[in-house]
Structure 1
Amino acid sequence: LTGDDMTEFVNDKLFPYLKGFKNNTNNPKSIKYKIGAIFEYLDNKVVSGHTLREVLDIIDSLNFQSSDELFELSQIYEQLLKGMGSDGGNSGEFYTPRAVIKAMVDATSPQVGQTIYDGAIGSAGFLVEAFTYMTTPEKKKNYSATDWETLQSDTFYGMEKTSLGYVMGMMNLILHGIESPNVYKGNTLTENIRDIQEKDRHNIILANPPFGGKEKSQIQQNFPIQSNATELLFLQHFMKMLKLEGKASIIIPEGVLFQTNKAFSNVKQELLENYNVHTIVSLPAGVFLPYSGVKTNILFFDRKGATSNIWYYEVNPPYKLTKNKPIANEHFKEFIELFHNADKRGKGENDWTIGINDIKEYDISAKNPHKIVEIEHLAPKELLGKIKNNDTQINKLINEIEDLING
């Protein structure tokens, strides 16, 4: 088949057949059901049947049964997602730099038997990285058949509002070897968090939810503390979705830390009093360029009692971040070392600790004390003398310039 015959076959027979997998399969955890769920939101965009033929011939030459070739395909797909994330277009909202994701996963250290949740999966980078972390060769050799089945079917959970994000995320998960992720298309914020019970909660939450958006009053009613700020609603959702003893690592805009209006203060009050906010990582400007220039932080908290001390770490790359010079794994090396070795903290210029009693009005945006420039306070008479001296120097320079001009 080629030309118009190929186009007709793909549009009228192949895609409808694949979309039907979801309705013709009783098991929502099966790979067949997942494929049907993906094609439910896809249409053929290749107009030329001849181009389709060429694409199919290339795909036919690949051996998807080979783990090496499947790995290579997943890496190619990952690079495509990265390219889409850095093009500055609409797709950028779904991509989080992998160095940031890896640091968050390394810090939370997911284990088999735990459930991992992302309420706004985008391209599913957090779930994929968690799977990679849990399936290193050394770890895999110790897994039983039951452990492997748990990893495949009962570990990874998520939601995604947009069709594009859902398709990209599901494809990414399947290509990386997670055949049965519990990921569904839907708006996370439509769930009334008052209805969430312990059985619905998860051990680990990893997320970079949308921020800067505004939600209507109908959505806001699902939350005890109402706000039209998307980031504040997602934070409440994640707090409610965390199991007892669970761990969360969430990217938030810096405004969440310092804003002290009623809604922000109330959410942070609940967060500090009912959860242990133990770490806040300040990310450098430009992490999400060119899609977003908003300054962001990583908020780490667990459900193990109230907050007593917050450890702050400031990531400082040796160069200004740009599209072509993005953040890299080595920029988080010191953070990971200090995160897992608390006795080594407080000896450099990138980290510091603040006690809960030093936090006022729930403003948790503590500045790096190592970078605060001391201001010299002079007596009025002394200050006036310095001003007069500066004026004298300026007048002297002006006279010299006039002499040069006049010859």
Structure 2
Amino acid sequence: MITGELRSKVDKIWESFWTGGITNPLTVIEQFTYLLYIKGLDDREKRKEKDSELLKTPHEGIFPKDQPELRWSTFSQMGPEEMFEVVSQKVFPFIKGMGGDGSAYSEHIKDAVFVIPSPALLSRVVAGISDLPKTTSADSEVDSLGDLYEYLLSKLQSSGTNGQFRTPRQIIDMMVALMKPTPQDTIVDPAAGTAGFLVSASEYLRKNHNDLFYTRDLKEHFHNTMFNGFEIDTTMLRISTMNMMLHGIDNPNIRYQDSLNEQNKEQEKYTLVLANPPFTGSLDYDAVSDDLLKVTKTKKTELLFLALFLRLLKKGGRAAVIVPDGVLFGASNAHKAIRKEILENNKLEAVISMPSGIFKPYAGVSTGVLIFTKTGSGGTDHVWFYDMESDGFSLDDKRSPIEANDIPDIIERFHNLDNEKERKRTDKSFFVPFEEIKENDYDLSINKYKEVVHEEIEYEEPLILMRNIKQLESNIAIELDKLEELLSE
């Protein structure tokens, strides 16, 4: 989420595109993102060069030494005509070939096309991007490319054609912190979008398990096989691969894949699922994998994705996923079937109910986070519920920062569940036994189990209230008469 100075400068760049002849919002988004990516590559390279100089270690850069003009810091200082020729004829072909044949980058960026029509427009846009605050550089620890992309998408005034909208960064980070990824994990997001979950997981590992880079096997796993994402939107694929590279992942497995399709045969391959699957959108029901329909026969993507998560996970694998509230209490056979599958045949650990404003201004749907472990043999004894009231931002369309924030409390309590056993159902968090949930048709709505304390309020007798109202009216009439006398003098 971007606000203030950054938002104003991004709007100015957008206006430059518009007045420069590029009026298709999707084209603006793509061209803007390519240039952000090119700048990010140079920012990242400069950071590595500084580290190499400080540590006296060799560094093999991504830019050819005999072509300094490929770097943002060089061509951004050129005149408009020279810059235009360098970017269109050299820089774009260079980024399209990065990573070598067969890499995620070359695969998804190979179709990138430079369509900025004039040197003057390119010069204005490059100057505008150079003037953006440091939070958009590779030195930033936040998913800045994803945040900017989210804001740019908001200018389309709708979510994607397949029902996707970007998960707020604070919710992504919360879910990653709840799951505590390890260097041995193999992580997947089957609805990857801009790769926000994968980026957050990579940053968590860098911060909490930095020693993994001193072990050859773990380092290779981190750069090549740990992070996996599927996406059917080709624009999102380009964004996500660029986003991952800017965050230091050499070769993530991000690929074009309809996750629910019969052609997706993957199973029991991953140890951790982090995802916010689409809640609505188009679905080719005839092409949906039969083994998913066996778990829950439905056309609802949110239910089919839950079945997919269970199939993708290895035994003992864990998942933290966002679902619309309807999944938690829906009364259809399909809704009950998937909840029963997770509760009876696997281990449901937690249900975190989130307020409806979390996804504003893009959507007002109420959602929750499900956390479960694939066991294939049950294991749900009781389920931990938490009633989130705030995520640190207002719940209106502005989503302004506020002090109230349940996220730190959620993380602390989830990692100390033994201390939750005595909590009452009037509290924000509490346990509910499996048998009670089963008796309620596997309903996972927190309102089904939360107890609300009603304070008794005593009112005056009706006759006394009537007398008081009449007295007030009499006093008002007297004061109005006095006012009228004053005005008539």
State the TM-score, normalizing by the size of structure 1.
0.80
Structure 2 residue 432 is the aligned partner of structure 1 residue 354: yes
Aligned-CA RMSD value: 3.7
Q: Which amino acid aligns with 2:276?
A: N
Which whole-Å deviations, capped at 9, do the CAs of 1:253-311 have from their partners, x for residues lacking one? 01100001111111212121211011011112211110111011000000134222110
SS in 2 for 1:70: coil
Q: Which amino acid aligns with 2:139?
A: F
Q: Which residue of 1 aligns with 2:330?
A: 259
How far apart are the structure 2 equivalents of 1:59 and 1:294?
34
Question: In structure 2, do the counterparts of structure 1 residues 231 and 328 end up closer, same or farther at CA, with 3 Å as the change threshold?
Answer: farther
User: Which one is further off, 210-219 or 97-106?
Assistant: 210-219
Which whole-Å deviations, capped at 9, do the CAs of 1:215-243 have from their partners, x for residues lacking one? 24314454223212111111111111111
Q: Which amino acid aligns with 1:42?
A: A
Question: In structure 2, do the counterparts of structure 1 residues 74 and 266 end up closer, same or farther at CA, with 3 Å as the change threshold?
Answer: closer
Deviation at 1:213, TM superposition (A): 2.9
State the TM-score, normalizing by the size of structure 2.
0.67
Deviation at 1:142, TM superposition (A): 6.6
Question: In structure 2, do the counterparts of structure 1 residues 192 and 258 end up closer, same or farther at CA, with 3 Å as the change threshold?
Answer: farther
How far apart are the structure 2 equivalents of 1:190 and 1:252?
20
How far apart are the structure 2 equivalents of 1:319 and 1:182?
33
How far apart are the structure 1 equivalents of 2:335 and 2:402?
29
Q: Is contact 2:351–2:384 with CA below 8 Å preserved after alignment?
A: yes
User: Which one is further off, 93-102 or 181-190?
Assistant: 93-102
Structure 2 residue 392 is the aligned partner of structure 1 residue 321: no
How far apart are the structure 1 equivalents of 2:219 and 2:249?
10
Question: In structure 2, do the counterparts of structure 1 residues 167 and 355 end up closer, same or farther at CA, with 3 Å as the change threshold?
Answer: same
More relative contact order in 1 or in 2 (CA 8 Å, sep 6+)? Answer: 1
How far apart are the structure 2 equivalents of 1:160 and 1:253?
20
Deviation at 1:337, TM superposition (A): 1.1
Q: Is contact 1:250–1:299 with CA below 8 Å preserved after alignment?
A: yes
Q: Which residue of 2 aligns with 1:383?
A: none
Structure 2 residue 185 is the aligned partner of structure 1 residue 114: yes
Q: Which residue of 1 aligns with 2:110?
A: 40
Q: Is contact 1:116–1:203 with CA below 8 Å preserved after alignment?
A: yes
Q: Is contact 2:237–2:256 with CA below 8 Å preserved after alignment?
A: yes
Structure 2 residue 179 is the aligned partner of structure 1 residue 105: no
Q: Is contact 1:212–1:229 with CA below 8 Å preserved after alignment?
A: yes
- Picking from 444, 452, 471, the partner of 1:364 is 444
Q: Which residue of 2 aligns with 1:158?
A: 229
Gaps of 5+ in 2: 1-77, 482-489
- Picking from 178, 182, 188, the partner of 2:259 is 188
How far apart are the structure 2 equivalents of 1:196 and 1:115?
13
Which whole-Å deviations, capped at 9, do the CAs of 1:160-217 have from their partners, x for residues lacking one? 1112221211111110001100000232121367x4443xx21000001110335243
Deviation at 1:90, TM superposition (A): 4.1
Question: In structure 2, do the counterparts of structure 1 residues 111 and 309 end up closer, same or farther at CA, with 3 Å as the change threshold?
Answer: same
User: Which one is further off, 150-159 or 130-139?
Assistant: 130-139
Q: Is contact 1:118–1:127 with CA below 8 Å preserved after alignment?
A: yes
1:94-243 map, 5 Å? 94-136=165-207, 139-140=210-211, 143-191=214-262, 195-198=265-268, 201-220=269-288, 222=290, 223-224=293-294, 225-243=296-314
Q: Which residue of 2 aligns with 1:379?
A: none
Q: Is contact 2:182–2:209 with CA below 8 Å preserved after alignment?
A: no
Q: Which amino acid aligns with 1:310?
A: V
Which whole-Å deviations, capped at 9, do the CAs of 1:36-81 have from their partners, x for residues lacking one? 22323432242222333566689999xxxxxx96324976424423
Gaps of 5+ in 1: 62-67, 377-385
Question: In structure 2, do the counterparts of structure 1 residues 329 and 176 end up closer, same or farther at CA, with 3 Å as the change threshold?
Answer: farther
How far apart are the structure 2 equivalents of 1:355 and 1:73?
40
Deviation at 1:315, TM superposition (A): 1.6
**Percent sequence identity over matched residues?**
30
How far apart are the structure 2 equivalents of 1:244 and 1:271?
13
Deviation at 1:244, TM superposition (A): 0.4
Deviation at 1:112, TM superposition (A): 1.4
Alignment length (residue pairs) = 380
SS in 1 for 2:298: coil
- Picking from 152, 155, 161, the partner of 1:84 is 152
User: Which one is further off, 209-218 or 145-154?
Assistant: 209-218
User: Which one is further off, 106-115 or 80-89?
Assistant: 80-89
Q: Which amino acid aligns with 2:416?
A: N
